[in-house]
């Protein structure tokens, strides 16, 4: 292998889950990265900022000289050791920086001098990111997409988990999509969300899949935006409506947003802190709807929620939550859903209860999948 070898088959890096060494500064990595990348930067955020300022004021040669003076001696030895350790554990690892330029060339050369020949990505992070953007654009343009909708609490995510060609947008966003959808683990960066979604689409198209089912979502899932080409395609796609009674939906919400979510908070933060943070998150979620509920309406629901949380803390029983959940569905979520559904009437191709929708979606996907 030549010490300056370039990887030009960018799709293969994602399709084969090739380990990637991201040489960008931590601040760049935090803004957006790839699932199989580890950040082992050539320069810290501060060092990168100094080199960038030097480049603007004195040009490339001076910036390169400053970079070498900042990363030398013990500092260089420590970073070399980190790269060597990672490559020893992942012998097929590939290097990249932002554009596949000086940073990755420098590290590639240093490693070669130490007897480790590793390739770098042609075009770097920017080229990889562009490939993923184009993947989503192409899929939105060429593939078949079907949207599953239904009133809040219909269990759409659970249903789609049993559909062979479903893509879980909320799973990629680490968020359940509603005002109450925050999860204790937090969300990825918006770019990180786009990247993992695009990689799934890339892999499944490579396997010959060209029909995908997704849940009806707003453009934003928490802080993560569905890529605009896909969101626009969803706005034109055929719609399947799952129909579930309000009582069943209230029970589904109790299970998902009270019982399960409380357990997730406890698992993530410990019993006492997790319970406290769960209660705070639930009340904050309701408070976000205060303007739409009106002050009196919000106060009533907030009082019912607080009473239910006290009962849950005391006895472990959560059935009291059904009171505020039922009222919230009746007064806010159901009217909003019916208003939105009216706009989709012409695109509805099927409606029915859960089992019927499941059968329809799975059958629909078979010829293309």
**What was the pLDDT predicted at 37?**
97
Task: Going residue by residue through the chain, which has 369 residues, state the pLDDT in tens, using 9 for 90 and above.
Answer: 445 799 999 999 999 999 999 999 999 999 999 999 999 999 999 998 998 888 888 888 888 888 888 888 999 999 999 999 999 999 999 999 999 788 999 999 999 999 999 999 999 999 999 999 999 999 999 999 999 999 999 999 999 999 999 999 999 999 998 889 899 999 999 999 999 999 999 999 999 999 999 999 999 999 999 999 999 999 999 999 999 999 999 999 999 999 999 999 999 999 999 999 999 999 999 999 999 999 999 999 999 999 999 999 999 999 999 999 999 999 999 999 999 999 999 999 999 999 999 999 999 866 544
**What was the pLDDT predicted at 178?**
83
**What was the pLDDT predicted at 128?**
98
Domains belonging to the chain, first-starting first, are 6-122 (3.40.250.10), 144-368 (no CATH)
**What was the pLDDT predicted at 62?**
87
**What was the pLDDT predicted at 369?**
41
**What was the pLDDT predicted at 142?**
97
Catalytic residue among 54, 97, 224, 357: 97
**What was the pLDDT predicted at 67?**
82
**What was the pLDDT predicted at 97?**
95
Strand ranges (E), the chain: 6-7, 20-22, 37-39, 94-96, 120-121, 144-149, 211-215, 220-221, 224-225, 239-242, 348-352
**What was the pLDDT predicted at 3?**
57
Burial of 250 from C-beta contacts in 10 A (0-12 / 13-18 / 19+): buried
Distance CA 364, CA 26 (A): 44
Q: How many of the other CB atoms lie within 10 Å of CB of 225?
A: 16
**What was the pLDDT predicted at 367?**
55
Is 369 among the catalytic positions? no
């Amino acid at each position: 292998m030549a010490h300056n070898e370039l990887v030009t088959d960018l799709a293969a890096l994602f399709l084969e889950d090739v380990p990637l060494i991201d040489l960008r500064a931590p601040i760049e990595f935090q803004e957006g990265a790839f699932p199989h990348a580890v950040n082992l930067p050539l320069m810290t955020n501060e060092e990168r900022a100094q080199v960038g300022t030097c480049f603007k004021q004195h040009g490339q040669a001076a910036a390169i000289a400053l970079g070498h003076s900042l990363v030398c001696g013990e500092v260089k030895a420590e970073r070399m050791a980190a790269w060597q350790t990672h490559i020893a554990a992942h012998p097929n690892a590939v290097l990249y920086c932002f554009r596949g330029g000086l940073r990755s060339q420098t590290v590639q050369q240093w490693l070669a001098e130490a007897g480790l020949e590793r390739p770098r990505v042609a075009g770097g992070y920017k080229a990889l990111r562009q490939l993923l953007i184009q993947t989503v654009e192409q899929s939105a343009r060429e593939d078949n997409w079907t949207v599953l909708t239904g009133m809040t609490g219909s269990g759409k995510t659970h249903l789609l988990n049993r559909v062979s060609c479903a893509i879980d947008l909320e799973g990629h966003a680490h968020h359940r999509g509603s005002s109450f959808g925050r999860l204790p683990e937090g969300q990825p960066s918006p770019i990180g969300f786009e990247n993992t979604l695009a990689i799934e689409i890339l892999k499944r198209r490579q396997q010959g899949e060209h029909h995908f089912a997704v849940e009806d979502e707003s453009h934003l899932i928490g802080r993560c935006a569905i890529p605009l080409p896909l969101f626009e395609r969803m706005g034109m796609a055929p719609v399947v409506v799952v129909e579930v009674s309000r009582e069943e939906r209230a029970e589904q919400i109790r299970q998902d947003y009270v019982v399960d979510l409380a357990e997730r908070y406890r698992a993530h933060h410990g019993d006492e802190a997790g319970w406290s943070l769960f209660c705070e998150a639930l009340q904050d979620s309701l408070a976000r709807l205060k303007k739409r509920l009106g002050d009196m309406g919000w106060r009533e629901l907030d009082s019912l929620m607080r009473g239910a949380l006290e009962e849950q803390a005391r006895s472990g029983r959560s059935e009291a939550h059904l009171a505020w959940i039922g009222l919230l569905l009746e007064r806010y979520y159901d009217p909003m859903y019916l208003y939105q559904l009216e706009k989709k009437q012409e695109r509805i191709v099927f409606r029915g209860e859960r089992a019927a929708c499941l059968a329809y979606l799975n059958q629909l996907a078979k010829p293309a999948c």
